Amino acid sequence: MISISSSPLSLKSFNFNTSPSLLYPFSQKQNQPSKNRNPKSHQIACTSNDTNQNNPKEGEQKPSASNIVGHRRNVLIGLGGLYGATTLTNNNSIAFGAPVPIPDLTSCVIPPKEFPTDLQSISCCPPLSSNIIDFKFPTFEKLRVRPAAQLVNDDYFAKYNKALELMRALPDDDPRSFYQQASVHCAYCVGGYTQQGYPDTELQVHNSWLFLPFHRWYLYFYERILGSLIDDPTFAIPYWNWDAPDGMQIPSIFTNPNSSLYDPKRNTTHQPPTIVDLNYDKKNPSNNPAEKQIIINLNLMHRQMISNSKTNRQFLGSPYRGGDEPFKGAGSIENLPHTPVHIWTGDPREKHGEDMGHFYAAGRDPVFYAHHANIDRMWYVWKQLGKKRKNFSDPDWLESSFLFYDENKNLVEVKVKDSVDEKKLGYRYQDVNIPWIKSIPKPSSKVKSKDKNKFLAQRPPRKFVDKFPIVLDSVVSIIVKRPKKSRSSKEKEDEEEILVIDGIEYDNNTEVKFDVIVNDEDEKVIGADNTEFAGTYVSVLHAHDHGNNKKKKNIVTCLRLGLTDLLENLKVDDDDSIVVTLIPRYGLVKISGIKIEFED
Ligand code: C2O
């Protein structure tokens, strides 16, 4: 059988006549209860039962305690038989359990063979060490308080400047050096590693439930190294408070060309006082006056943090287990605003948008760590937004692990489960106002008749499609049936209605962005400040290639968008179907299907 996630179709070779299984439109399948499905057909990026995908591939074995050399797995041995056994996931689906293991440092390949030729000279594999120690929680007298970057004083700036100067002065082969710190991102994020025990499987920390924990750990060590270089155990990195109006510019501490916090490879037209566009479209940048851009940004934050983050999977990202191909699906804030902020900051004069605009180089810009501190802060804020905002309890998430060098140059193995409470890691965030809580996006039009879908269906020149897959080379609309409608508030509280755009496939050396609009009357006037704007899929250049696997692979991923708030605010919760409009912004993607799912 041909599965979408494993078919290495090149975009040029999209041929609807040769792959019969690709023709199966989700829209005809959506009411079928998942238990009746053939489990072998689950090899699609992001259905709720997406967990049977990690059967060992031919020639690959599930790792066991005995075939992972030098890697202690006491916990897993203690759980007995987790590998190869079935386990209940948070989505109540049956999964083959396996956490994502540490990278195999000895197989680090940077640059990957698929990297553009001008990048073939970069190298970002870390120094090797055979001595891996287990993480221990730090002891401390006082929590480090990470400040909002726009609020720090001169003393703070001088301190951070000094610490980073010292970090930059360390020799390149010192794992604490800025060179090596930047390389951490490069190695983990452009396919430098394979997973220990799965020699053909790339390790990738973006586009899945590993995104937030990985970057939390990354900042944790970066901050501790800086603190130790200036001998200040309370030193805390600043956060770029782009979710509040007074933080929506590049923080001025990063813009002095004479300081160690500066990076020349940034977009010169995006310097203060320019307001960041959290939904930046690099091919067609918006030109909004500052006040309007601020409102759009606040509406976008409300949607991403509240409407699109009602479940742990919606917020943290989709399950990605040991042996899985990466790109299972990003959580809400990884797509927006995380990725546009990278691209907005990077320098368009550079071939690959360096530094922030390409994952291999992003860590070279000190503002990267402030950007990610705010992403990390969003995790901390999200947990306070309501009872249902809880982390995963799935052992495959909790036991997934990474390797980092600490402030004493020790190679430390850390686990996701030890990252979930930032206070135990010794830090918190300076409290500031959270202005987006009440910034609810507004419908673009007041008239939302119940016959709207009929109206839309007849209205030329809209192009409607009902067959999948589609290559998204123009604006298209799809009528998507709703398996349930008019639910009670209790039902809505229990289960979120989710629009799933599945099997999003594109060449891994291209950048793509497309917007998703629901029940629009004219897609041209819909912006991120309108209710109808459901979300965006946007990629950062990252090029990957793994180990021995010579075959060129496309990225295959999915986008999951919350519908409950959106449909309520449009007052169409009693409708049988919705009209989904996909608007390509740049890059070419193929989409294998669209459907609605419910998730608790
Ligand atoms: Cu690892 Cu902002 O990306």
User: pTM, whole model, 2 decimals?
Assistant: 0.85
* Atom from ligand 1 closest to the CA of residue 339: 2
Verify that 482 and 418 share a domain, yes or no.
Answer: no
pLDDT of 116: 73
- Domain holding 573, by residue range, is 449-599
Which parts of 295-350 are beta strand (E)? none
The tens digit of pLDDT for each residue in 271-281 reads 999 999 999 99
Q: Mean pLDDT across the stretch 88-102?
A: 60
C-alpha 10 to ligand 1 mean position (Å):
26
Note whether 159 and 167 are within 8 A (CB). no
> What CA–CA distance (Å, rounded) separates 461 from 140?
64
Q: What is the mean pLDDT of residues 213-233?
A: 98
pLDDT top residue among 404 and 113? 404
Alpha helices in 310-442, H assignment, sequence order: 312-316, 332-333, 339-345, 367-382, 395-398
Do 142 and 75 lie in one domain? The reply is yes
Among 196-205, 350-359, 440-449, the range with the most confident prediction by mean pLDDT is 350-359
Q: Is 215 annotated as a binding residue?
A: yes
Q: pLDDT digits over 300-311, tens only?
A: 999 999 999 999
Q: Are residues 487 and 585 in the same domain?
A: yes
**How many degrees, rounded to 5, is the angle at CA 28 between CA 26 and CA 34?**
70
Domain boundary residue among 413, 436, 459?
A: 436
Residues 288 and 192 reside in one and the same domain: yes
CB atoms within 10 A of CB 569: 18
**Average pLDDT, stretch 200-204?**
88
The closest-lying atom of ligand 1 relative to the alpha carbon of residue 189 is 1
The answer to whether residues 432 and 458 belong to one domain is no
Q: How far is the CA of 268 from the centre of ligand 1 (A)?
A: 21
Q: How far is the CA of 426 from the centre of ligand 1 (A)?
A: 22
Confidence category of residue 249, pLDDT binned at 50, 70, 90 = very high
Kindly state if the Cβ of 361 falls inside 6 Å of ligand 1.
no
Q: Which residues contact 11 (CB under 8 A, 6 or more apart)?
A: 471, 505, 506, 507, 554, 588, 590
What pLDDT does 449 receive? 53
Q: In this predicted model, what pLDDT tens digit does every residue of 7-25 receive, in sequence order?
A: 333 333 333 222 322 222 2
Claim to verify: residue 482 and residue 547 sit in the same structural domain? yes
Length of the chain in terms of residues written: 600
Residue 33 phi, psi dihedral angles, 5° rounding: -65, 145
* Per-residue pLDDT at 464 exceeds 60: yes
349 Cβ contact partners less than 8 Å away, ≥ 6 residues apart: none
**Domain final residue pick, 436, 466, 493:** 436
The number of folded domains in the chain is 2
DSSP characters for 246-260? Answer: GG-S--GGG--TTST
Helices (H), 329-442: 332-333, 339-345, 367-382, 395-398
492 touches ligand 1 (CB under 6 Å): no
Ligand 1 atom closest to the Cα of residue 368 is: 2
504 lies in some domain: yes
Q: 352 CB less than 6 Å from ligand 1?
A: no
Q: Which residues, listed in sequence order, are joined to residue 448 by a DSSP beta bridge? A: none
Annotated binding-site residue? 358: no
Question: Between these two residues, 55 and 285, which has the higher pLDDT value?
Answer: 285
Contact 338 CB / ligand 1 (< 6 Å): yes
The CATH number covering residue 484 comes to 2.60.120
Q: Do 88 and 120 have their domain in common?
A: yes
Please check whether residue 248 lies inside any domain of the structure.
yes
CATH number for the domain spanning 295: value is 1.10.1280.10
Give yes or no: residues 364 and 432 share one domain: yes
- Checking if the pLDDT of 94 tops 80, the result is no
DSSP 126: P
Q: Give me the pLDDT at residue 32, please.
A: 30
In a domain, 15, yes or no: no
H helices, E strands: number in the chain: 13, 18
Please check if 71 is assigned to a binding site.
no
- Is 18 among the domain residues? no
Q: What sign does the dihedral 322-407-232-263 (CA atoms) show? A: negative
Q: How far is the CA of 353 from the centre of ligand 1 (A)?
A: 14
Query: Residue range 26-40: average pLDDT?
Result: 30
Residue 12 lies in a domain: no
**Residues catalogued as catalytic:** 185, 206, 215, 338, 342, 359, 372
pLDDT band at 445 (very low <50, low <70, confident <90, very high): low
> Is the model's pLDDT at 43 over the cut of 60?
no
The minimum-distance atom of ligand 1 relative to the CA of 375 is 2
Q: Are residues 371 and 492 in the same domain?
A: no
Which residue spans within 456-528 are E strands per DSSP? 470-471, 476-481, 496-507, 513-518
The response to whether 338 counts as a known ligand-binding position is yes
The pLDDT score that the predictor gives to residue 460 is 53
Average pLDDT, the chain: 83
Asked whether residue 42 is marked as a ligand-binding residue, the answer is no
In a domain, 20, yes or no: no
8 belongs to a structural domain: no
Ligand 1 pocket, 216 CB below 6 A?
no
Token pair 């190695």: residue: 187
pLDDT cut 90: percent of the chain above it: 67
pLDDT for 9? 32
User: Band of the pLDDT at 41, cuts 50, 70, 90?
Assistant: very low
* For residue 284, pLDDT beyond 70: yes
Q: Could you tell me if 425 and 456 lie in one domain?
A: no
Q: Cα(first)–Cα(last) distance of the chain, in Å?
A: 31
Residue 47 has pLDDT above 80, yes or no: no
Do 206 and 347 sit in the same domain of this protein? yes
Kindly state the tokens that stand for 374: 């705010």
Asked if the structure places residue 1 within a domain, the reply is no
Does 371 count as an annotated binding residue? no
Note whether 453 and 432 are same-domain residues: no
Instruction: Kindly give the number of the ligand 1 atom that is closest to the alpha carbon of 372.
Output: 2
258 is written with which tokens?
């004479």
Ligand 1 touching residue 321 (CB < 6 A): no
**Range of weakest confidence among 307-316, 391-400, 545-554:** 545-554
Can you give the pLDDT at residue 430? 98
Ligand 1: does its nearest atom lie under 6 Å from the Cβ of 358? no
pLDDT for 182:
96
Q: Which of 404, 436, 468 is the last residue of a domain?
A: 436
pLDDT at residue 453 in the model: 58
Instruction: Indicate which residue's Cα is closest to atom 3 of ligand 1.
Output: 359
For range 561-589, the mean pLDDT: 95
In tens, the pLDDT along 503-520 reads 999 988 889 999 999 988
Looking at the predicted structure, is the pLDDT value of residue 596 above 60?
Answer: yes
